[in-house]
Amino acid sequence: MAVIRDMMPAFELFQPTTTDEALGLLDEYRERAWVLAGGLDSFDWLKDRVKRPAAVVDLGGVEALRAIRPAGGGLEIGAMATLREVSRSPDVRERYALLADAAEIVASPQIRNQGTLGGNLAQDTRCWYYRDGWNCYRAGGTICYADTPTAMNREHCILGASRCVAVNPSDTAPALVALDGELEIHSSGGTRVVAAEDFFVGPDVDIMRMTVLEPGDLLTAVRLPDTWAGARFYFEKSRDRQVWDFALAAVASAAKITNGTVEDIRIVVNGVAPTPLRLRASEDAVRGRQLNDEVAARAGEAAVQGVRPLNHNGFKVALLRNLVMRAVRGGEA
């Protein structure tokens, strides 16, 4: 239902300047707190009056969370680095162009100037029923409105759904998974490091969350190991409108190729499943082989094994296949 809600309801605003101060506040307010990074997902929720936190913890003043610096042969990117800072960082560009390309195609320049890498990874799904405040599974209810006979679901899952059919919308997420990235999470209870692939959770694990982040948790940094630095990268995102738009399907791939033979490859897609999805069968179809159209076609076929399209998103199957084929070919026709 279209209800007008651009005015945010009242909340307490905190603007800490250190990570510890932020953690203290998150610990105090727990599930009543909202972490605010660039605000591009957050403000939607607040202006739509669907989420009503008591306290908002604005990380904008925590300088320590913004740095991009070499670490252990790889790179560490602060959660509060903006998407623009990520895409323009020479370190990222030179060695991890895949992430730079993904960050560069998010939304619009204004949003990339304001939105952060941490926020982009932790952002919520765009399912319109859920975002409009309908009491669906993800909101704690007992139904998925997007998976009913009259539902509008052309932008939803074709793979990996479990009750909820909403997809992960992040462009940087598949790139991070493809690069074997890791995420550093702090809470008052301590620090943990999670592999990117494990950071995102599907509804089969927890239907009310998109990531492992829990109340009290603060994502502080993203780490990129040197495993894929300088590999052959491919990122492509298909969308309805050639202006800013979320992905109907996106593919991120990193490959090591010697004399035309694929020594190793990562193929990760997003926009088609509840989490960014590493396509191991497609990778297996390519690994160790000479790169050619036939191999690419086989990877494409492997990608769509087991798809379960909904009423209106059958086109995503062919889209996924085609994007995977292009990713394997790496942009060469």
Partner 1 sequence: MTAPAVLPKLVGQRVRRREDPRLIQGRGTYVDDVTIAGLQHLAFKRSDIPHGRILSIDTSAAEALDGVEAIFTGAQIAEFLGPMPVPTPFPAPEHRAVAADVVRYVGDPVAVVVARDRYLARDAADAITVDCEPLPAVVDPEAALSGQPAVLHADFPNNVAVGPLPAGTGVGRGGQVDDSAVDGAFAEAEVVVSQRMVNQRLAPTAIEPRGVVAHFEPGKETLTIWSSTQNPHILRTHVAALTGLGQDQVRAIAPEVGGGFGAKINIYGEDLVAAAVSKRLGLPVKWVEDRSEAFLATIHGRGIIGYVDIAARRDGRVLGLKLRLVADIGAYNMLLTAVVPTQTMRMANGTYAFPVVRATLTEVFTNKTPTDAYRGAGRPEAAYFVERAMDMLAREIGMDPAELRRRNFIQPHQFPYKTQVGALYDSGDYEKALDRALEKAGWEQLKAERDAARADGRLVGLGLSMYVEICGLGPSARLPNGGWEYSQVTVERDGRISATTGVSPHGQGNETTFAQMLADQFGVPLEHIRIHHGDTAVVKQGIGTFGSRSQAVGGAALHLAGGKVKTKMAKFAAALLEAHEGDLVFENGRIAVAGAPAAGKTFAEVAAYAHRPVKLPAGLEPGLSEEAFFEPPNNTYPFGCHIALLEVDRDTGEPRLLRMVAVDDAGNLINPLIVEGQIHGGLTQGIGQALVEEVVYGDDGQPLTGSLMDYAIPRATDFPRFELDNTVTPTPVNPLGAKGVGEAGTIGSTPCIVSAAVDALGGFGVRHIDMLLRPEKLWRIIHGGNA
Q: Which two tokens stand for residue 218?
A: 């603060």
Strands (E), 83-199: 182-187, 190-195
Stretch near partner 1 under the rule CB under 8 A, chosen from 14-22, 55-63, 87-95, 315-323: 315-323
Asked if 275 touches ligand FAD (CB under 6 A), the answer is no
3-state secondary structure of 246: coil
Q: Yes or no: say if 212 and 199 are a contact pair by the CB < 8 Å rule.
A: yes
CB of 33 to ligand FAD, least distance (A): 9
Q: Is 238 in the site for ligand FAD (CB under 6 A)?
A: no
Binding partner of residue 322 among ligand FAD, partner 1, none, CB cut-off 5 to 8 Å per kind = partner 1
Q: Which stretch binds ligand FAD (CB under 6 A): 38-46, 129-137, 154-162, 319-327?
A: 38-46
> Are the C-beta atoms of residues 123 and 169 closer than 8 Å to each other?
yes
> Hey, is 4 helix, strand or coil?
coil
Site track 148-187 with partner 1 (rule: CB under 8 A), x = hit: ----x-x---------------------------------
Out of partner 1, ligand FAD, none, what residue 265 binds, judged by CB under 5 to 8 A for its kind, is: none
Kindly give, in sequence order, each residue whose CB lies less than 8 Å from that of residue 306, ignoring residues fewer than 6 positions away.
159
Looking at residue 107, its amino acid is: A
Q: Which residues pair with 224 in a beta bridge?
A: 75
Q: Which of 33, 121, 299, 323 binds partner 1 (CB under 8 A)?
A: 323
Q: Which of residues 248-267 bind partner 1 (CB under 8 A)?
A: 248
Distance between CA atoms of residues 36 and 46, nearest Å: 11
For 223, the token pair is: 């780490």
Contact flag: residue 10 with partner 1 (CB under 8 A): yes
Site string for partner 1, 33-52 (x = CB under 8 A): -----------x----x---
Task: Name residue 278's beta-bridge partners.
Answer: 268
274 lies in the site for ligand FAD, by CB under 6 A: no
Q: Which residues within the stretch 221-240 sit at the binding site for partner 1 (CB under 8 A)?
A: 238-240
User: What residues form DSSP beta bridges with 236?
Assistant: 251
Sign of CA dihedral 166, 209, 224, 113: positive
Q: Count the neighbouring beta carbons within 10 Å of the beta carbon of residue 312.
A: 14
| By CB under 8 A, residue 88 contacts partner 1 | no
**Distance, first Cα to last Cα, the chain:** 45
Least Cα distance to 118 among 47, 173, 166, 169 occurs for: 173
- Tokens representing 126 are 């765009």
If contact means CB under 5 to 8 A according to the sort of partner, which of ligand FAD, partner 1, none does residue 62 touch? none
Q: Which does 155 bind (CB under 5 to 8 A by kind): ligand FAD, partner 1, none?
A: none
* Cβ proximity to partner 1, 68 vs 304, nearer residue: 304
**Contacts with 112 (C-beta within 8 Å, 6 or more apart), sequence order:** 82, 83, 84, 87, 103, 104, 106
Binding positions for partner 1, rule: CB under 8 A: 1-10, 44, 49, 108-109, 126, 128, 152, 154, 238-245, 248, 309, 314-315, 317-319, 322-323, 325-326
Binding positions for ligand FAD, rule: CB under 6 A: 34-42, 59, 79, 106-107, 111, 115-116, 118-120, 122-124, 169-171, 213, 218-219, 244, 246
